[in-house]
A and B are shown apart, each in its own frame.
Chain A
């Protein structure tokens, strides 16, 4: 086999490739050759092949098949092989490779090699990619080498120890003895790496930190020697003696001096010396100054020293070198909290940095500018920042906008200024502001009662100029809806009032509805605004027309609003003025910074709206969160409780919303209509097609006992929904006269297909002993065809550890039309015996329809809301056909028609 081509040859060849494809082809060919050479266990050229592989790896080609070859090279006796082998290991192996096991042995051997350069390679590799297992296995060797007098090995061992500690912190203790005389070393390499090691230990353990505080004088001495000693060519960088070491010592001093008076005291002088004596014409001097400043600011330094530090940063700000300006801004940002006034003095320079062309500097300057805003300089600073917002790159706008909002919120000198500022942001950077800025601004406007006329005028004008900035348009729509009357009456003192007619205003809002620029949310705002104007403007007919048009919008959201508003015009016109009344002043929620309220659609903090407040009638569900936040849990125009005028078309959403209001109505999945009951659960049910009222003729049907056996008694009470006589509401009351609790109590009911039945969750699944309480459960039955109601029920429970399943039958109940006088006649016979035929008391036979469904409480309810430990635990049985052969039935025969 001919010798493989040389590395340089290969590089040269590959570089001649004109296309990516050509290069790939060359590399594939070479890889094939390398692979076959690896397979032949060729020792002569392994090193060359791995080197070539490393080159290809750099070009982005896979080279993992060389991993084992690296190990073989490391195990070789030749230094060249080892050198390439270790290099390959560092490049090709990552932490999770199994080859690490093999590697540990190789490294262990080499750490004890007679040649320091071989030992060095092993240390370097271990310190670069040693896994925690490797570190554990080899820490002893590292510790040994840390004590050697050979500085070449000692510095590498120190950094290796750093790596070991990073990987396995509990091994730290073992290096403690070796640190004893590290700082007395003369060699800068060893000194530097020792300081790194000490820093690592101090940062990881408070004990170590306390232990090493005694080193402060020694560190100070070393630093002093560095800055005082004359020119030493070996470590000189632009006239400064070993800046790398100086910076490292300064950092260790910072850690040792932090919140420790004595140590801080001990280093004050040297810090002052470094701060004043360092030559700053070159970057390297500034690097040391920068580190010094950080140390001064971090330890308990004298106040004079702190002023000196801030002044150094101030000088940095004026430096021509952008890098220096950058670090000045970064470090001022760090110190602005502690030394606010000192930083404040450099405000104008900082603001100037906003105009820098460099984005890195601009960003730092922006952050710092916001940190400097306070009550005294807000107007001036805001002018600069708004100007910046106007002209800056898009990447800054979002952050800048929220910064302005925050600062304005905190320091606004007047409400008018505040509103103007936010409006300015919305007009200049509207598309970049966060979603929550719209409700925040609306809240602000609502609460500034005296500003309403002014605001609505300003916003109206802004709308005439530009309808592309969606947040602005949303706020404007909302305000026009709320304060439209103020707009057309033109009673604004501060601005020259504009003359607008009702029709013009409606034109604008309708324009928003049809504009391509409007988002669906904006359209929603706009439609609601139009609706609200129906009580503020006289052109009700026009509004009616617009609203009805959108009743057939393809946008579900818009359509829902429109349908609801339409209903408001028709059925509930008498309530419309009250419903569309102006929003009251909202109480500020505790944390109202733009950064703090974050809502996600469909979710509202439950605390925002107290359950006692009625749900928002005019607001469709997925918009309601905005409004709910606005309501802020405060007084809402009083709407009769439980008077949802919500024609339900998308009840799920609404219920989800209401779920947070602790109205745990089920979702609309069950096709059963609903009736409010004594339980609050059904204030709103998804599919009720009519408003429901709570004034149910509860006493219309006398209660009856449906089951009474073995100590378990089940009573039925009946209620009838007033507006919908087809619905019967049966509340079961289960009581237990035995001496033991009945657990796992499950009540199931089944009705024929023509009925619809809904079982709510029971109050409990344990029926307490000795009649000490009852379990109640509500059943609602819809009987649209007014047939005789027939029902089967099944009872299961556990008494004294043994499961009981029982059935009962025989009951009448009423389901009648108009009048309330039907009586349910109960013939209540418990048989407990399986009945062969399904003969009801009235001879009515229940058909064993396969679709007779057992509704298990909880199953129809919103998933997750049903109690899991209760009947829901039986969910495994699910909704399924109740096999008549295994059950007995109770027939509830409806009478009275």
Chain B
């Protein structure tokens, strides 16, 4: 199963954190620190895999943002790259040419999308369309609270 997914900038600023196993706040912070330093220290054109404790860490950089996914040892790291890529596609589809700022200002949307794609550390939906449809339908349900009225204007 997947253990956690972190999104952080090239400066090491956390943009999204999803933990699939319960963990103490302090431990989370330590992992975030470890991951950012480890991943940011990697040479360009290295492979996208790292080992950290008993986990496989798969990371990939999209523009200014690093996606860092930690999975159990028996997981398929090539497929994990596809998981990351799928999430990026979903974000891109939702925001339309997604950039880091979209995720900063609409972080809750990024979480909602993720929750329709992954759940409990496993892939929940393998079809992009299905995820998008669910998100749209959920958004429709949201009432007219001012900050959710308009789609993100950034």
**A positions within 8 Å CB-CB of B:** 6-8, 11-12, 15, 47-48, 51, 54-55, 58-60, 64, 78-80, 83-84, 87, 91, 94-95, 115, 117, 120, 123-124, 127-129, 131, 152, 155-156, 159-160, 162-163, 188-189, 192-193, 196, 234-235, 237, 242-245, 247-248, 251, 283-284, 286-287, 290-291, 294, 322-327, 357-361
Decide if A188 touches B81 in the complex (CB within 8 Å): no
Decide if B126 touches A358 in the complex (CB within 8 Å): no
Please give me the residue from chain A that is nearest to B81 by CB atom: A283
Which among A48, A115, A128, A284 is the interface contact of B141 at CB below 8 angstroms? A115
C-alpha gap A155/B105 in the complex (Å): 30
Contacts of A247 in B (CB 8 A): 76, 79
List residues 115-147 of chain B with CB under 8 A from any CB of chain A: 115, 119-120, 122-130, 134, 137-138, 141-143, 145-147
Give me the 8 closest cross-chain CB pairs, A-B, nearest first. A287-B78, A322-B47, A95-B22, A127-B120, A287-B79, A189-B125, A244-B126, A79-B141
Decide if A360 touches B147 in the complex (CB within 8 Å): no
C-alpha gap A235/B107 in the complex (Å): 27
Is B49 at the interface (CB under 8 A from chain A)? yes
Separation in Å of the B9 CB from the closest CB of chain A? 12
Decide if B108 touches A87 in the complex (CB within 8 Å): yes
Given contacts A94-B22, A290-B78, 10 further A-B contacts (CB under 8 A): A11-B105, A51-B108, A58-B14, A58-B17, A84-B108, A87-B111, A91-B111, A163-B120, A251-B74, A286-B78
Decide if A360 touches B49 in the complex (CB within 8 Å): yes
Contacts of A152 in B (CB 8 A): 134
C-alpha gap A6/B138 in the complex (Å): 21
Decide if A291 touches B124 in the complex (CB within 8 Å): no
Which among A60, A64, A128, A235 is the interface contact of B126 at CB below 8 angstroms? A235
Separation in Å of the A53 CB from the closest CB of chain B? 12
**B positions within 8 Å CB-CB of A:** 14-17, 20, 22-25, 29, 43, 45-51, 74, 76-79, 81-83, 86, 104-105, 107-108, 111-112, 115, 119-120, 122-130, 134, 137-138, 141-143, 145-148
Between-chain CB contacts (< 8 Å), 13 pairs:
A8-B105, A11-B105, A83-B112, A95-B22, A188-B125, A192-B124, A283-B78, A284-B79, A287-B78, A290-B78, A322-B47, A327-B49, A357-B45
Q: Which of B22, B49, B51, B126 has the most CB of A within 10 A?
A: B126
Decide if A79 touches B142 in the complex (CB within 8 Å): yes
C-alpha gap A358/B46 in the complex (Å): 5
Decide if A235 touches B78 in the complex (CB within 8 Å): no
Which among B49, B123, B142 is the interface contact of A80 at CB below 8 angstroms? B142
Decide if B76 touches A287 in the complex (CB within 8 Å): yes
Please give me the residue from chain B that is nearest to A94 by CB atom: B22
Decide if A193 touches B124 in the complex (CB within 8 Å): yes
Decide if A159 touches B17 in the complex (CB within 8 Å): no
Please give me the residue from chain B that is nearest to A289 by CB atom: B78
With contacts A115-B141, A283-B81 known, is A6 near B127, CB below 8 A? no
With contacts A247-B79, A323-B49 known, is A6 near B146, CB below 8 A? yes
Decide if B104 touches A11 in the complex (CB within 8 Å): yes
Decide if B25 touches A94 in the complex (CB within 8 Å): yes
Decide if A159 touches B126 in the complex (CB within 8 Å): no
With contacts A58-B15, A327-B78 known, is A192 near B137, CB below 8 A? no
With contacts A8-B105, A129-B22, A291-B76 known, is A326 near B126, CB below 8 A? no
Which among A12, A127, A251 is the interface contact of B119 at CB below 8 angstroms? A127
Decide if A87 touches B147 in the complex (CB within 8 Å): no
Contacts of A243 in B (CB 8 A): 79, 82
C-alpha gap A15/B148 in the complex (Å): 21
Decide if A359 touches B148 in the complex (CB within 8 Å): no
Decide if B46 touches A284 in the complex (CB within 8 Å): no
C-alpha gap A163/B2 in the complex (Å): 12
Contacts of B129 in A (CB 8 A): 234
With contacts A87-B112, A117-B138, A189-B130 known, is A48 near B82, CB below 8 A? no
With contacts A58-B107, A287-B78, A359-B46 known, is A192 near B126, CB below 8 A? yes
Contacts of A283 in B (CB 8 A): 78, 81-82
Please give me the residue from chain A that is nearest to B89 by CB atom: A237
Contacts of B119 in A (CB 8 A): 123-124, 127-128, 156, 159-160
C-alpha gap A287/B81 in the complex (Å): 9
C-alpha gap A242/B126 in the complex (Å): 7
Decide if A360 touches B47 in the complex (CB within 8 Å): yes
Q: Which of B25, B78, B141 has the most CB of A within 10 A?
A: B78
With contacts A58-B16, A94-B24, A95-B22 known, is A323 near B81, CB below 8 A? yes
Decide if A8 touches B147 in the complex (CB within 8 Å): yes
Contacts of A54 in B (CB 8 A): 107-108
Separation in Å of the A282 CB from the closest CB of chain B? 10
Contacts of B130 in A (CB 8 A): 189, 234
Decide if A80 touches B143 in the complex (CB within 8 Å): yes
Contacts of A360 in B (CB 8 A): 46-47, 49-51
C-alpha gap A351/B83 in the complex (Å): 31
Contacts of A127 in B (CB 8 A): 119-120
Which among B29, B134, B138 is the interface contact of A60 at CB below 8 angstroms? B29
C-alpha gap A405/B142 in the complex (Å): 66
Separation in Å of the A238 CB from the closest CB of chain B? 9
Decide if A60 touches B14 in the complex (CB within 8 Å): yes
Decide if A162 touches B142 in the complex (CB within 8 Å): no
Separation in Å of the B55 CB from the closest CB of chain A? 14
Contacts of A91 in B (CB 8 A): 17, 111
Decide if B76 touches A234 in the complex (CB within 8 Å): no
C-alpha gap A565/B132 in the complex (Å): 84
With contacts A48-B147, A287-B78 known, is A244 near B107, CB below 8 A? no
Decide if B82 touches A287 in the complex (CB within 8 Å): yes
C-alpha gap A129/B120 in the complex (Å): 8
Separation in Å of the B150 CB from the closest CB of chain A? 10
Decide if B23 touches A94 in the complex (CB within 8 Å): yes
Q: Which of A54, A192, A323 has the most CB of B within 10 A?
A: A323
Please give me the residue from chain B that is nearest to A254 by CB atom: B74
Separation in Å of the A327 CB from the closest CB of chain B? 6
C-alpha gap A726/B97 in the complex (Å): 97
Contacts of A162 in B (CB 8 A): 120, 122
Contacts of B81 in A (CB 8 A): 283, 287, 323
C-alpha gap A244/B137 in the complex (Å): 24
Contacts of B120 in A (CB 8 A): 127-128, 159-160, 162-163
Decide if B142 touches A327 in the complex (CB within 8 Å): no
Separation in Å of the B75 CB from the closest CB of chain A? 9
Please give me the residue from chain B that is nearest to A155 by CB atom: B124
Decide if B47 touches A189 in the complex (CB within 8 Å): no
Decide if B141 touches A244 in the complex (CB within 8 Å): no
Decide if B14 touches A357 in the complex (CB within 8 Å): no
Decide if A188 touches B111 in the complex (CB within 8 Å): no
Contacts of B127 in A (CB 8 A): 188-189, 234-235
Decide if A78 touches B143 in the complex (CB within 8 Å): yes
Which among B16, B25, B47, B51 is the interface contact of A358 at CB below 8 angstroms? B47
Decide if B23 touches A6 in the complex (CB within 8 Å): no
Contacts of A11 in B (CB 8 A): 104-105
Please give me the residue from chain B that is nearest to A80 by CB atom: B142
C-alpha gap A244/B124 in the complex (Å): 10
Contacts of B115 in A (CB 8 A): 87, 124, 128
Separation in Å of the B71 CB from the closest CB of chain A? 12
Decide if A159 touches B124 in the complex (CB within 8 Å): yes
Contacts of B78 in A (CB 8 A): 283-284, 286-287, 290, 323-324, 327
Separation in Å of the A362 CB from the closest CB of chain B? 10
Decide if B141 touches A117 in the complex (CB within 8 Å): yes
Please give me the residue from chain A that is nearest to B17 by CB atom: A58
Separation in Å of the A359 CB from the closest CB of chain B? 7
Decide if B124 touches A156 in the complex (CB within 8 Å): yes
Decide if A322 touches B147 in the complex (CB within 8 Å): no
Decide if B108 touches A244 in the complex (CB within 8 Å): no
C-alpha gap A189/B29 in the complex (Å): 33
Decide if B47 touches A326 in the complex (CB within 8 Å): yes
Decide if A244 touches B134 in the complex (CB within 8 Å): no
Contacts of A124 in B (CB 8 A): 115, 119
Separation in Å of the B32 CB from the closest CB of chain A? 8
